[in-house]
Amino acid sequence: MRTTILMLFTALTAGWFQPPAPATPTGACFLLLDTANGAVLRNPDAVCDTRLPPASTFKIPHAIAALDSGVIKGVDEVIKYDGTARDYEAWRRDHTLASAMRYSVVWYFQEIAKRLGMGREEYYLRRLRYGNADPSSGLTTFWLGGSLRISPIEQLTFLRRLYDAELPVPDRVMRAVMDILIQPDGFIVNAAGEQPFDAPWPSGTQVSAKTGSTTFGDHRAVRWIVGHVQRRDRAWIFVSCVTGADDIDSTAAIDLAARSLRETGVL
């Protein structure tokens, strides 16, 4: 017994023994910021402070970096489809930044990552203060279940800075990205096509949004939708996130957001 205890003590003091990492919480978060008064609703808030992979919601800061750096010249610059087999029909064609954002085209933004390179990816993550700002797991995959992590509350803060024109990039860059996030009336569009979003919306409503979905860790998944609602002279920023086993519904965050926006009278 004394030998076993001594061996364990030696392992601990030598740094050989590493306790298991704490499990990532399972649950949901919905955040709603009223831009008129700064009030924030958190309901539910089980994972609002938990850092998770951003998945395709990272396309928002990625597009900002692409335009600000000049690796693409504008939202209509075409990158040619190389013919590689892709999961979604919408990905099997040439794309502009605007259409790649709308249909969440992973290969397009992987090309953006190659053009930026690791140095500039790190630079923009730090400059934009985006989550843990860590792209170390791989240049073309770090946001897809890799090292980059961001919490729902950090997503809300980032979007507020974007829509308040407080990011450290030119106004034209922020405006261009905000424009390509605008959704068609009654729908959210992503790789799977048009997803109904609690239509009909009140007259004069404009919804801007980006979804995200990925797996990570030990059979874990996260679903996101982040965005902005403008209704005449009022505006809100929202973040919806659901995380759990890798079989959670692909529209879980969209459904949570639509229900919550309706219940709060935003839509």
Q: Is 147 a catalytic residue?
A: no
pLDDT tens string 110-131: 999 999 999 999 999 999 999 9
Q: What is the pLDDT of residue 125?
A: 98
Compare 50 and 3 and report the one with higher pLDDT. Answer: 50
Q: What is the pLDDT of residue 218?
A: 87
pLDDT tens string 92-108: 999 999 999 999 999 99
pLDDT at 15 over 50: no
Band (pLDDT 50/70/90 cuts) for residue 23 is low
pLDDT at 13 over 80: no
Q: What is the mean pLDDT of residues 21-43?
A: 90
Band (pLDDT 50/70/90 cuts) for residue 8 is very low
Q: What is the mean pLDDT of residues 34-49?
A: 97
Q: What is the pLDDT of residue 22?
A: 54
Measured CA to CA, the distance from residue 217 to residue 214 in angstroms comes to 10
56 contacts 210 by C-beta, under 8 angstroms: yes
Measured CA to CA, the distance from residue 237 to residue 240 in angstroms comes to 10
Q: What is the pLDDT of residue 158?
A: 98
Interacting residues of 164 by C-beta distance below 8 A, sequence separation 6+: 35
The dihedral sign for the CA sequence 57, 96, 183, 207: positive
Q: What is the pLDDT of residue 1?
A: 46
Measured CA to CA, the distance from residue 211 to residue 225 in angstroms comes to 4
Band (pLDDT 50/70/90 cuts) for residue 78 is very high
Interacting residues of 188 by C-beta distance below 8 A, sequence separation 6+: 194, 195, 197, 207, 209, 211, 225, 254
Domains and CATH numbers, the chain: 23-263 (3.40.710.10)
Of these residues, 56, 104, 213, 260, which one is catalytic? Answer: 56
Q: What is the pLDDT of residue 7?
A: 46
Q: What is the pLDDT of residue 12?
A: 42
Q: Which residues pair with 225 in a beta bridge?
A: 211, 240
